[in-house]
A and B are shown apart, each in its own frame.
Chain A
Amino acid sequence: MSAVSTGREPSKLRTLGTDFLRGVWTESSPFRLMIAFCPALAVTTAVVNGLAMGAAVIFVLVGTNVMVSAIRKIVPREVRIPVYTIIIATFVTIADLVLAATVPQVHKVLGLFVPLIVVNCIILGRAEAWASHVPVDRALADGFGYGIGYTISLVMIGIVRELLGSGSLLGHPVMPPGFVTWRVMLQPPGAFLTMGAIVGLFNLGSRLAKERAARRLERARGSGAGVTAATTGTGAGASTAGLSLSN
């Protein structure tokens, strides 16, 4: 059990907690880290489908991260990408077979997008950027974080699309009886519309938070106190853990 060696030594639990939360919030896909759109658009016609896809992604992501981390010291650098790809493809094959055996209706709806988890950028991205450099426990935390973050995003989109497109949530009718369902929400245009709207809302939120932090900094400077800025924004809609800690 190797401790993480930094200058000051945060507790093991705190490090793992940070690793976990990074994927859940600050770098969650597809809204903050703009990747892995395809399944988010395709399978979110109902919340339950989003949950199933999320579960599959968590399984593959955690499995891949753990395995890549476990063998990181013996994989030659030149062949690491093909090795990771084979690991991912194997886990996806397992997930696909398990889904087909246990929940065949859901598996049918997810269709092509379960095997397409193989090319889900989150998984290869985390393997290359993180799991191959850190011990197994941190890779595990990271995998769960990103997986759960992705699942939350899928469920978010699914809630909007199912509510407006079928008037239900998780299969139970929720909207009042007179509600005419917006069928377009279940179809491609509705998917793009929902994504665009949510990304726009995230951007708005980030921008407002940044402005608020900047104003706070001005006031602190004005009063002569030494306050370090809480934000470093990069790119559209990205924000750091410091931002999520402030109310």
Chain B
Amino acid sequence: MSFSSLVLLFVGSALINNFILSRFLGICAFLGVSKRLETALGMGAAVTFVMTISGAVSWAIQRYILVPFHLPFLQYVVFILVIATLVQFLEMVIRRYSPSLYEAFGIYLPLITTNCAILGVALLVAGSDYGLLETLVFSVGSAVGWTLAIVLMAGLREELEFADVPLSLQGPALSLLIAAIMSLTFMGFSGLVPAS
């Protein structure tokens, strides 16, 4: 578990196996919250927070409770409850300290619970043989990659507000086509790390 292997893990989870553009996790929020740059950044920060903590907690629960007590079938129930609790907590904190951000998020804040990316991280670390540090690096890396994709999309969509988009392609259709090109671009990263 050298430093360089951790860096590779980070780069791998952020760029090469980007959660949105490569693993298809967290697309609904990606399409829904990527209209403005500040909202996208805020959502990225919120998701990073939830993903990191729920990733670590899920890893701990899997290793120290579910496996020793032979309860692997409770995995999905337990993980989603952990995530729901964290999101509830986050909602209370944001509402208290930044009402404007709370308004901006709207329905998308409680919807972080149903963000596939977060449950995805929990399941991925639970099914791996990572230690705690690797789990944290993987979770943060995945979240950073997710945030990167959503921020890129927000920037592009803000620019495209002045473009002449055909009527039928406006909205989600255009976002999906942009995502296709972004995904194609990110595929170029796959040569960055020797076959893992």
B189 at the interface (CB under 8 A from A): no
Query: Are A112 and B177 in contact (CB-based, < 8 A)?
Result: no
- Which of A30-38, A169-177, A220-228 lies at the interface? A30-38
Partner of A35, one of B28, B167, B173: B28
Residue of B nearest to A121 (CB): B114
B77 at the interface (CB under 8 A from A): yes
Could you tell me the distance between the alpha carbons of A92 and B116 in the complex, rounded to whole angstroms?
14
Interface residues of B (CB under 8 A from A): 21-28, 31-32, 73-77, 80-81, 84, 111, 113-116, 119-120, 123-124, 167-177, 179-181, 183-184, 187
Q: Which residues of A contact B114 (CB under 8 A)?
A: 119-121, 124
* Interchain residue pairs with CB less than 8 A apart (12): A37-B24, A41-B24, A85-B84, A89-B76, A97-B73, A121-B114, A188-B21, A189-B180, A192-B179, A200-B173, A203-B167, A203-B168
Residue of B nearest to A201 (CB): B168
Query: Are A81 and B27 in contact (CB-based, < 8 A)?
Result: no
Partner of A116, one of B22, B74, B75, B119: B119
Query: Are A203 and B173 in contact (CB-based, < 8 A)?
Result: yes
Q: Which residues of A contact B22 (CB under 8 A)?
A: 188
Q: Which residues of A contact B124 (CB under 8 A)?
A: 112
- Central interface residue in A36, A86, A89, by most chain B CB within 10 Å: A89
Among A161-192, those with CB < 8 Å from B are: 184, 187-192
Could you tell me the distance between the alpha carbons of A86 and B83 in the complex, rounded to whole angstroms?
13
Interface residues of A (CB under 8 A from B): 34-39, 41-42, 81-82, 85-86, 89-90, 92-93, 96-97, 112, 115-116, 118-121, 124, 184, 187-193, 195-197, 199-201, 203-204, 207, 236
Query: Are A115 and B172 in contact (CB-based, < 8 A)?
Result: no
Query: Are B168 and A37 in contact (CB-based, < 8 A)?
Result: no
CB distance from A212 to the nearest CB of B (A): 15
Query: Are B120 and A112 in contact (CB-based, < 8 A)?
Result: yes
Question: Taking A93-B77, A116-B119, A189-B187 as contacts, is the C-beta distance between A236 and B180 under 8 angstroms?
Answer: no
Given contacts A191-B24, A197-B177, 5 further A-B contacts (CB under 8 A): A42-B24, A85-B80, A93-B77, A119-B115, A192-B183
Question: Taking A119-B114, A188-B24 as contacts, is the C-beta distance between A89 and B172 under 8 angstroms?
Answer: no
Could you tell me the distance between the alpha carbons of A115 and B51 in the complex, rounded to whole angstroms?
17
Partner of B119, one of A34, A81, A119: A119
Query: Are B184 and A189 in contact (CB-based, < 8 A)?
Result: yes
| Chain A interface, DSSP helix/strand/loop, else mixed | helix
CB distance from A200 to the nearest CB of B (A): 4
Q: Which residues of B contact A90 (CB under 8 A)?
A: 77
Query: Are A207 and B168 in contact (CB-based, < 8 A)?
Result: yes
Query: Are A199 and B173 in contact (CB-based, < 8 A)?
Result: yes
Q: Which residues of B contact A81 (CB under 8 A)?
A: 84
Q: Which residues of B contact A190 (CB under 8 A)?
A: 180
- Which 9 pairs show the lowest CB-CB distances between chains A and B? A196-B176, A192-B180, A196-B177, A204-B168, A42-B24, A200-B173, A37-B27, A89-B77, A199-B173
Query: Are A196 and B113 in contact (CB-based, < 8 A)?
Result: no
Query: Are B113 and A119 in contact (CB-based, < 8 A)?
Result: yes
CB distance from A184 to the nearest CB of B (A): 8
Query: Are B81 and A82 in contact (CB-based, < 8 A)?
Result: yes
Q: Which residues of A contact B111 (CB under 8 A)?
A: 121
- Central interface residue in B169, B174, B180, by most chain A CB within 10 Å: B180
